[in-house]
Chains A and B, each alone.
Chain A
């Protein structure tokens, strides 16, 4: 849970009085007591207590800003939104102030450096749905006051601010606060309720990010084989490992190669993109209706149809496959389908010139969430690849990276290769690379082809022949027997063997859109974790250059004392000292 810590200031000086707010606290504001004429009321923000009966009715909340160089007024964020609807009595009004007093590196209002500017918007509601924004800017040391001079027409006010022209770092503290006062006649100074924030402490609040420090840059890589540094390819930040090899972490530029010419280019096979109608017509051509003969005349028609089918049965041998693939294939102009030695006039389809079709699923960008180790040791990413399934990829390839998924389908048989690319730029020199290839088959075969049609037709011929003989000779029993044979051949389940059977790719019934599922640990820690535990550092440094809780390892005492005391001091340093 995000939280905000404030330090109460009295008479312009920071005190050790601390109060914390939760995010929920900050979103609500109320006066806990009706204001009095002597300024003795108190105000609260949520459950947090601000101000006091002695200091007046000022309170403040503090907000951190990301550690980037604001070179202009193009970064703003909501600082606070207060609803100060209503007032207590006609004699009082409430006043909302936005105050800034520059950038400073230590507590105390007299050490300001830099130039923090605040741009504030006064959002005045004339009714609950209509408002106007008035822009007010202020430089360091000044404040923006939103006096509520009239009690009418202003329903609520929202303040936004931004900081400009400042490069923030961990040593900076920024004073920015919302002052709230009541009682026009006794408006107190902003010093009496102002709040400060520790940059490091609050920087996470806006994005949950902790600024990374580059440590021990002074050590640098020394080019010594077997050393521990630099810790990263390219040597962007070494640890305290001391001398180490220098090596070039630059990746080669990625080169996309064209797909090699496929079978279609050879001209030996005909690829067609059909529509449903053309497939139906093709089926009708290949499988003409054969009626049950009831007379000798019918027998002749049946034999004629069978004769066509015999011819067509040979055509079937020239059909390699009929299937559906899950991608739009570009075809040429409509043309008659050619099957083997026969062109089926009037059965139209679009010829396909390339048997490889690419489909780009686009790119997903994933930012680091915590911007710390948790993004790598406690986070998983699974990519769902339609027609293949889930694959897990290493965080190094997807954190702060663009993931791009491309398919290459083989139109001839529906097989595919899905290629997952990653473009990474954080923590290493930028590179793009293919990080995974996944194969599968994404087609549904249409049961149109058959290798055993010949046997089916031989059965038909045999049955029809027997029927003719029986009818001609008056041996109806023999004719009936032959008819049964024909029936068995045609309608009763001739041994039709479908090429590849009805091999419907189950993926066709699955989710068609690739996606990424990221599973992250949910941090849970004390609000004063850094005070209690500290953060990992691993840096060789003078203890005196640290502040706050400092836990050391392997201290080398450079002053004389007894062994017993030395052991005690070393133990104390390992346990931790607060500087």
Chain B
């Protein structure tokens, strides 16, 4: 399998991460598959500099993008431990998913309670007065007869 190394600085939650030109590429083989998400790949030590200069990898065999979590050097090999970035890998498919959007950066329904809302300890107080006050007075005498 061929690994293409990238250095990314974007938020890990970004779906379409900007990869740039890449810091290098190398051929390796599967060292260990932990699960569908995590695996490690063994490569020749000649790519060590590429590995240390990167934090993101595209693997052509799986057609998936991975975070380069860590690496180990064994003899003449570099073993990189990868975790799949499902956001980038499945970006196109995810965009086609219909779901209940509960929070969004731009859309809003302002009258829904926001559990993240924070307020200061003190309150703002406003005073508004009715225009007419009971400032008059009348002396009243009530008699019968």
Contact = CB atoms under 8 A, between A and B. Distances in A.
B14 interface: yes
A268 to B, nearest CB: 6
B37 interface: yes
A449 to B, nearest CB: 9
A522 B119 contact: yes
B107 A269 contact: no
A206 interface: no
A551 B100 CA distance: 9
Residues of B in contact with A, size category = 35 or more
B103 A549 contact: yes
Nearest to B121: A522
Interface in B113-137: 113-114, 116-120, 122-137
Interface stretch (B24-32, B41-49, B89-97): B89-97
Nearest to B119: A521
Interface in A336-363: 337-342, 349, 352, 359-363
A346 to B, nearest CB: 15
B129 A513 contact: yes
A318 B104 contact: no
Contact of B111 (A278, A373, A546): A373
Given A275-B139, A366-B128, A538 B100 contact: yes
Contact of A378 (B102, B119, B130): B119
A269 B144 contact: yes
A253 B87 CA distance: 55
Interface string A296-337: 000000000000000000000011111111111100000001
Contacts, number: 346
A359 B138 CA distance: 13
Given A519-B124, A552-B99, A555-B99, A531 B37 contact: no
Given A548-B105, A558-B97, A374 B144 contact: no
Interface of A: 170, 200, 210-213, 215, 239-240, 268-276, 278-279, 282, 318-329, 337-342, 349, 352, 359-364, 366, 370-374, 376-378, 386-387, 403, 405, 407, 411-412, 414, 427, 442-443, 446, 512-525, 530-531, 533-544, 546-559, 561-562, 564-565, 568-569, 572-573, 575-579
10 contacts: A321-B142, A329-B140, A338-B145, A519-B124, A534-B105, A536-B108, A539-B109, A554-B100, A555-B97, A577-B14
The 10 closest A-B pairs by CB, nearest first: A548-B105, A544-B95, A513-B133, A372-B110, A534-B103, A535-B108, A362-B131, A555-B99, A521-B119, A328-B136
Interface of B: 11, 13-16, 35-37, 84, 86-87, 90, 93-114, 116-120, 122-145
